[in-house]
Amino acid sequence: MFKNVKNKKAFVTALVFVLVIALAAAAGVVSAKFMGEKDVKGSVGLKADLAESITVYEHVANRQTDGSYELDSSAITEEGQTYMLMPGVDIYKDPTVRVTGYTGVPAYLFVETEVSEYGTALGFNMASGWQSLSGHPGVWYKELTSADIPGEDETYKDYPIIATFANGYQILVFEGLPRESEYSISFKAYIGQKTVDYNTPVKVFEALTAGD
């Protein structure tokens, strides 16, 4: 059984009320043995490098005089931001999973979303291409294929988490936001290898998160 290293980095995003956006990803070298450790002819252990690294980032959001936020396309952060929420003012954010040096080994990319209890006052939509994971509410996945290998002039591929709207990426803030001390939405990213024994996204995700 393999374990991927997961160094959790929090993007702390905060009306009046606080909204915490946490993003986390496996960081550093993402390398793993085939799950269940397979041998060739009883002697040669198979090893596969999935990718060089997986990170989560977003562009810096600058608050405008009317209380809205605009993304700065020239500045990114992995450290977090603070937001002042106002009912009816949507927050533009673009949390993105970046996979560097993907080798083409069959794999799944996962995003696990967790939300605090706030009814329908806040919301977001996942970007296209993500599928919900059966039996795991709030978990989404993509199957990585040879099409995801970086091109000749590339080192990485980016996978947006939140859907693109007319003016950017939105966390939706509706009227009637309850007055609580803190709201939170977290996005955690994982990459896991697909093998003969672990050949479905459910099996791979459960192996990745076993013991969490």
- At 45, is the pLDDT very low, low, confident or very high (cuts 50, 70, 90)? very low
**Model pLDDT for residues 108-142, shown as the tens digit of each residue:** 999 888 776 654 556 778 899 999 999 999 899 99
Judged by phi (left if over 0) then psi (alpha if -120 to 50, else beta), residue 36 lies in: left
- pTM for the full predicted model: 0.74
The answer to whether the beta carbons of residues 81 and 13 sit under 8 Å apart is yes
Phi, psi of 178 (to 5 degrees): -60, 145
In the chain, what are the domain boundaries? 19-208
* Helices and strands (H, E) in the chain, number of each type: 1, 17
Residue whose tokens read 């690294």: 53
The burial of 45, by beta-carbon neighbours within 10 Å (0-12 exposed, 13-18 middle, 19 or more buried), is given as exposed
β-strands 47-51, 131-132 pairing: unpaired
Q: Quick check: 6 pLDDT over 60?
A: no
The answer to whether the beta carbons of residues 107 and 144 sit under 8 Å apart is yes
